[in-house]
A and B are shown apart, each in its own frame.
Chain A
Amino acid sequence: MSARRVVVVGNGMAATRLVEELVSTGRGGPAQALHLTVLGDEDHPAYNRILLSAVLEGTYRLDALTLRAPEWYAEHGVDLRLGARVLGVDRERRDVMLVDGTVLPYDRLVLATGSIPSLPPIRGLVRLDGRLHEAVHAFRSLDDCLRLMEAIRPDQRAVVVGGGLLGLQVARALSVRGLDVEIVEGGEHLLRSQVGGPAGQVLARDLRRLGTTVYTGARAVRLSDTPSTSGGEGAVGLRLDNGYTLDTDLVVLTAGGRPSTALARGADLEVRRGIVVDDHLASVTDPDVFAIGDCAEHDGRTTGFVGPAWEQAALLARRLTDPDADATYTGSRSVARLRATGLDVAVLGDPERATADGGEVVEVTNPIVGSHRKLVLRDGVIVAATLVGDLSRIGLITQYFDHGTRLAGTEPAALLMGDRMAPPARLADDAEICACAGVSAGRIRACSSLDEVRATTRATTGCGGCSSSVAQVLASRPALTAAP
């Protein structure tokens, strides 16, 4: 049987995980060995895209992002082509044509094309020649990140357009780099697609405390090459629909992305928001074409998170190596975490939707310390949550969320409150002080000195952990009153 040819379009996090899974499962053994080709349109080897803002911030070295070096693909017999742009897919002939004219036949095609940043409708954003204005930066790829890092200087001003997760991360990164940063968000509050108003307001206050100005309910409408005031500090002016014009040196666009579906459309695959796939992640139009990650739409949903992308990749790897595998994709539980210095945010599932769908809500807002925490439960199971400003219980809440643990009625509130402080213990005579030697407080009270304790009870001579307790018990002995 000839090798089955699998062509993967895309070299992002979903594609990389798929290839890793295929390599680690031995690709189903020699009898059904797959010949794998990976086409990445970027020139860089696969990297961890979600950490780009940490590189921008300066807390990560760039080389720490590389997921797999090209040599790894070679060692495992995978044909990796970087800088390979796909021109089109011919489903009749079952091949893929690259921009340079190369034609690659496939038996199975995987589209892992990710998403592309959307351009907000701001006049002046795009030059007549179709390129972005030089003060404007997208923030999606490693090249975007490098170009932005090249452009920034600590005394500059920057406006981040978009108050979602990426926008906040980029804004914080630029602040940490010493820039004066403003955020423009069209919605009524920050992180509007993830959290409700109270959480967004806590976040805005945090950001202001950190020196970042936040404009919500405001849209940028026009970019002009001159600042609003003569002698203004920035190089450009960004006009908002509320009449303000922000003078700035840089504009960073983080206002969301959309699934990259041009190839799929060109190949006449069914596309709504994303490439529509069934429970086996196959296109509903063509069972030999699959889509995973940000570009895929399953059950009416697209996601922008790596968790679901990896689950899809693992499932598809099983499917490709064993077509009889009955593994089906049923959706993922996602946890969105903000990666930004000084801001603590976690969003589990979709709290707003879960609330609207009738979930029971337990929430605590503490404006004094700047925290907002909300659990949405259904039948005692946490189905969504928002945690802002206080993540002390996140390691437990995410476990309950992921495992679908059924909680008792009192637990959600207990999870959101701090640990009850134990009252200071008054040691009873039979309380054990020294576990090594098995010595009670009473026996220590019967001694008059540490030396006597050591000699008669052996307390403190084992691990020594009770030394301070023994000293306390000795010090609190009732004084023996001398006879008159």
Chain B
Amino acid sequence: MTATATHCPYCSLQCGMTLVREGRAALAVQAWPAFPVNEGALCRKGWSAVGLRGSRERLTSPLVRDRETGELRTASWDEALDLVASRVRSLQAAHGADAIAVFGGGGLTNEKAYQLGKLARVALGTSQIDYNGRWCMSSAASAGNQAFGIDRGLPFPLADIEEADVVVLVGSNLAETMPPATRHLDRLRARGGHVVVIDPRRTPTADRADTFLQPVPGTDLALALGLLHLVVAAGDVDEAYVAARTTGFDDVRRSGAAWWPERVERVTGVPVAELRALASLLGRSVRESGKVMVLTARGAEQHSQGTDTVLAWINLTLALGMPGRLGGGYGCLTGQGNGQGGREHGQKADQLPGYRMIDDPAAREHVARVWGVPAASLPGKGRSAYELLDSLGQDGGAKALLVFGSNVVVSAPNATHVTSRLESLDLLVVADIVMSETAAMADVVLPVTQWAEETGTMTNLEGRVILRQQAVPPPDGVRSDLEVMAGLASRLESAGVFSTDAEEVFGELARASAGGRADYAGITYDRIRSEHGVFWPCPSADHPGTPRLFASAFATPDGRARCVAVEHRGAAEVPCDDYPVHLTTGRVLAQYQSGAQSRRIRDLPDTGPFVELHPMLADRIGAHAGDLVVVATRRGELKAPARVVSTIRPDTVFVPFHWVGANRLTNDALDPSSRMPEFKVCAAAVRT
């Protein structure tokens, strides 16, 4: 019997778990109580994570689309990779280097994400690379960079929640999306602390809060401005902190002046009395030297004004004097398993490893030196995720797309349009573990290893770099993503080294990140094993890592946080006669993201999509629980059973996004700064 300490394959909590294997028999999940983030707890997704092991659903041979029949047929690795390489060459010869685009994922390990960026910039020479993390936490990333000069989801360990007096969760349903994290809220409440949940739905998280506010989707920004207004009016601004640690606060102070409670009520649908009660709770907490922590998640961020929404909440915490204090401040609860690390090492259209910007000459020099290529050979900035997909097959857009760790047919907004863009490609290559909806459209499908079958690091929502270790050999016929990339690089006669050993790639990543904002230079696999993970930045072997940021300075040139005044613009679509309700989307506990993995695990209930609506709205359209109802938007329709619940706003319907359909409805309006699509609100009609 062998036991391997590793981490769950799903969300950004990256719960520690032990995988136990007896001989070649089945693999079992056991608790790893010593790992501090989850203390041995797991949700049912974690407990059932080995469910794909040995499953008939696993892909174990490359597939290529037969020219004669149009069907996928098995092929050897050499045939598949040779085919990809030759098509890449001919397309680039005809249309230039940017004819090839690369699409990555926030579930890829740091090593894969790093290597994918290198593959794009060195082996393919294309600027066209981005990833689905753009649809995850990019608005919080953009806001964090503007306000604090750095983007680390949580600038403190998750357990610091227990040190707060008031925790405000804006658009987070962590009791369902990352259940083991809920223990920190419960302990905070047991200590006498106060939990506030802000969500258009009274979620299981809201059920465990002391205060629940239920705003109209897309109005969290106005709510934050309204709280700032009341904090200023009551004289609860921490003036000493603002003077010593921030710049630009006067503009921010004025930005709240026009957001008096009655106006906020009209925009957000949150009654004045509830707004005032929350503001006075915050004020009282500050006057009694308490700590206020604001945590945002996708509900606040996935909007065309998502960046500004996060900035507005950051401004509130700055007004209260919180960021940098133990138990206070602002944090983002990242979503995907490696949402944090995935955005730090070069998968993003505008970035190089170490969170370096691709248009910074010094950054290009540094990374090019590590890669052994001339800096001038590195392409510049490419398109953001949705814009990249939108441009496929169009004038100036790519003709081929390589997809690693993403299922865009399900997860992209305005999905019908995105699917039509994929159909227009000359070549679609998908590396995946199962036949996802995107893989099913591909010309070449490459079967790759699953988490228990490979080793690599992830960076969790706290900025803690952790190690997933291989517990079992992969099925025959399956290769790791690193092997796939190396195979392609060598066929393309690429410069540079494309190692297939994760630890070796990590060493290179660490060197490439040295001196960057996300500095991993001092992190090694051995340190991660012995220290239960290492928090970046960790610039040298003798550096302890950085669990907490901002205690004495922010990562801006002058060390001060920047207060950026923002204004509420509202959602791109508002209800009208034809589309009279708001549609919002989200997750359910038993499924994960596009469901490519979780929907195939027998122990997880696969309910299919459903439409959650309030009894008053159900009465209006004459629907009963279980009836099939149609949700329609300007982009598409979805038919699914009704769930009639009084926990949702009566002017809003909710559809989970794990199944094909929800994102045919969602809007592709983008945030001007983060390029985040407006997943969380659009105008819809609902009928029987």
Chain A residues at the B interface, C-beta cutoff of 8 Å: 24, 48, 50-51, 54, 59-61, 64-69, 72, 335, 337, 339, 344, 391-392, 394-396, 398-400, 402-408, 410-411, 414-415, 419-420, 422, 435-438, 458, 461-465
Contact = CB atoms under 8 A, between A and B. Distances in A.
Contacts of B635: none
A408 B619 contact: yes
B44 A48 contact: no
Interface string B260-279: 11100110111111000000
A463 B575 contact: no
Given A61-B232, A72-B254, A395-B270, A339 B44 contact: no
B580 A396 contact: no
B575 A403 contact: yes
Given A406-B577, A436-B589, A463 B183 contact: yes
B265 A339 contact: no
Given A59-B233, A404-B577, A436-B43, A465 B182 contact: yes
A394 B271 contact: yes
A414 B250 CA distance: 45
Contact of B229 (A64, A69, A465): A64
Contacts of A403: 574-576, 580, 651
Contacts of B616: 411, 414-415
Interface in B190-235: 204, 207-208, 214, 216, 229, 232-235
B651 A48 contact: no
B44 A436 contact: yes
A417 B119 CA distance: 62
A476 to B, nearest CB: 21
Interface stretch (B68-76, B173-181, B309-317, B520-528): B173-181
B162 to A, nearest CB: 14
26 contacts: A51-B233, A51-B260, A61-B234, A61-B235, A69-B250, A72-B254, A337-B272, A392-B271, A395-B214, A398-B269, A399-B269, A400-B651, A403-B574, A403-B576, A403-B651, A406-B580, A408-B621, A419-B646, A435-B589, A436-B179, A437-B44, A438-B590, A458-B42, A462-B179, A465-B175, A465-B182
Nearest to B621: A408
B47 A458 contact: yes
B266 A335 contact: yes
A68 B254 contact: yes
Contacts of B496: none
Interface string B34-53: 00000011111001000000
Contacts of A438: 44, 590, 603-605
B461 to A, nearest CB: 16
Nearest to B260: A51
B257 interface: yes
Given A405-B575, A411-B620, 13 more contacts: A61-B233, A61-B235, A337-B262, A395-B269, A403-B575, A406-B577, A408-B619, A437-B43, A437-B44, A437-B47, A464-B183, A465-B175, A465-B204
B178 to A, nearest CB: 8
Contacts of A437: 43-44, 47
Contacts of B272: 337, 391
Contacts of A50: 260
A69 B255 CA distance: 11
B620 A465 contact: no
Nearest to B207: A465
The CB with the most chain B CB atoms within 10 A, among A68, A69, A399, is that of: A399
A67 B254 contact: yes
A458 B181 CA distance: 16
A232 to B, nearest CB: 38
A402 B257 contact: no
Contacts of B232: 61, 64
B544 interface: no
Contacts of A419: 646
A395 B176 contact: no
The CB with the most chain A CB atoms within 10 A, among B615, B619, B650, is that of: B650
B254 A69 contact: yes
B649 interface: yes
B619 A410 contact: yes
Given A398-B265, A438-B603, A458-B47, A464 B182 contact: yes
A400 B44 CA distance: 40
**Nearest 10 A/B pairs, CB to CB:** A463-B179, A395-B269, A463-B182, A337-B262, A408-B620, A64-B233, A436-B43, A462-B179, A60-B233, A403-B575
A190 B209 CA distance: 40
B258 interface: yes
Interface residues of B, number: 60
B90 to A, nearest CB: 45
Chain A's interface: helix, strand, loop or mixed, by majority? Answer: loop
Nearest to A348: B266
A480 B211 CA distance: 41
Contacts of A465: 175, 179, 182, 204, 207-208
A66 to B, nearest CB: 6
A339 B646 CA distance: 30
A60 B233 CA distance: 5
Nearest to B590: A438
Contact of A462 (B41, B257, B567, B615): B41
Nearest to A54: B233
Nearest to A439: B44
B254 A66 contact: yes
Contact of B258 (A67, A72, A391, A464): A67
Contacts of A436: 42-44, 179-180, 589
Interface string B566-606: 01000000111100100000000110000000000001110
Contacts of B619: 408, 410-411, 414
Nearest to A467: B186
Nearest to B257: A67
B633 to A, nearest CB: 16
Nearest to A51: B260
Nearest to A335: B266
Given A406-B577, A411-B620, A396 B650 contact: yes
A411 B270 CA distance: 20
A58 to B, nearest CB: 11
A405 B651 contact: yes
A378 to B, nearest CB: 14
Contacts of A392: 271
Contacts of B271: 391-392, 394-395
Given A391-B273, A394-B265, A463-B183, A435 B204 contact: yes
Contacts of B604: 438
Contacts of B254: 66-69, 72
B269 A65 contact: no
B268 A395 contact: yes
A158 B183 CA distance: 55
A48 B269 contact: no
A391 B590 CA distance: 38
A337 B235 CA distance: 24
Contacts of A66: 254, 257
Nearest to B215: A395
The CB with the most chain B CB atoms within 10 A, among A408, A420, A422, is that of: A408
B414 to A, nearest CB: 23
Contacts of A415: 616
A262 B240 CA distance: 47
Nearest to B216: A399
B182 A398 contact: no
A66 B262 CA distance: 18
B308 to A, nearest CB: 13
B565 to A, nearest CB: 10
Contacts of A48: 257-258, 260
A399 B216 CA distance: 9
A26 to B, nearest CB: 15
Contacts of B44: 435-438, 462
A407 B265 contact: no
A407 B620 contact: yes
A396 B646 CA distance: 14
A400 B616 CA distance: 13
